[in-house]
Amino acid sequence: MNILITAGGTSEKIDNVRSITNHSTGRLGKAIGETFLANGHFVTYVTTPQALRPKSEDNLTVVEIETTKDLESALRAQFKLHSFDSIIHSMAVSDFTTETTLSEDLFIEKLAESLTKKGNLTDLAKLTEELYHSLDEIGETIQQEKKIPSGTDRLLLFLKKNPKIISMLKDEQPQAILVGFKLLVGVSTEELLQVGQAILTKNKCDFVFANDLEKIHGNQHEGILIDAQGQTETAETKNEIAQLIVKKVEEKWRK
């Protein structure tokens, strides 16, 4: 099979020396990649600079990216070149990217300016509406310095939504068996299943692996693989997860 795996965690620049990083060791992605490779499949592995990855070999192609935007263009390029039998989207992708960063002083100056232009704002609904306009104005127009001024006591960071990568995968590669991942923090098994199920339906996944950060400790890694029929299987370690995913994808592919 021709497999595409995304793994690691994207990061979004704040300025030339700082960025917002989604933590991911890449250890699970590495295990999944190595399991597919061990079974003789071809793997295109899209990952981030810090993350672990499978040992290099002939059947492995590694593509490095940093931001969510990089990821999107790297994937679109891959989809032009290849038709994948399966896509394993395990990368921790930033939901948000930096829009602008302002000192509290500059933010308040701009906000006060734009609000006073609006005249008397004692009405809550009117004020709320104007605040949305002002924030859009500030977020979209104010440019920050190359390096954030360290003088100010408080900084305001505006983050705007990134495109949801997972939502485009099935449309771009309808033939691919799509495995999505959902990480939650400190939730019940019921909620984990429910959210995983929702992600699966929404993004036309064939499988979703739902897991909870509080149940991940090194190689111990609890989680539930959900399929489109709502059937579930659990795994306890990264290797078990890798084995389970590869087995399920191979089975589905043979049908």
Rounded-to-integer distance, Cα 235 and Cα 176, Å: 23
The residue within the footprint of a second copy, chosen from 64, 70, 72, 99 (CB under 8 A), is 99
Give the angle subtended at the CA of 251 by the CAs of 249 and 252, to the nearest 5°: 65
What's the CA gap between 94 and 83, in Å, rounded?
Answer: 26
Residue 18 binds a second copy, judged by CB under 8 A: yes
- Minimal distance, residue 103 CB to a second copy, in Å: 10
> What DSSP state is assigned to residue 67?
S
Site for a second copy in 154-213 (CB under 8 A): 154-161, 183-186, 213
237 binds a second copy (CB under 8 A): no
Half-sphere exposure of 146 (CA within 13 A, CB side): 1
In whole angstroms, how close is the CB of 124 to a second copy at the nearest point?
Answer: 5
Q: Which residues 60-89 are close enough to bind a second copy by CB under 8 A? A: none
Instruction: Kindly state the smallest distance separating residue 161's Cβ from a second copy, in Å.
Output: 5
**b or e along 202-226 (b: 16 or more beta carbons within 10 Å of the residue's beta carbon)?**
ebebbbbbbbbeeebeeeebbbbbb
| Contact between 111 and a second copy per CB under 8 A | yes
Under rule CB under 8 A, residue 142 binds a second copy: no
At its nearest, how many Å lie between a second copy and the CB of residue 36?
A: 26
Instruction: List Cα–Cα distances, 140 to 9, 99, 119, 135, 189, in angstroms.
Output: 26, 7, 23, 8, 40
Tell me: does residue 217 bind a second copy (CB under 8 A). Answer: no
Q: Least distance to a second copy from the beta carbon of 164, Å?
A: 9
Contact 12, 20 (CB under 8 A): yes
Binding interface with a second copy (CB under 8 A)? 11, 14-23, 50, 92, 94-96, 99, 104, 107-109, 111-113, 115-116, 119-124, 127-128, 131-132, 135, 139, 146-148, 150, 152-161, 183-186, 213
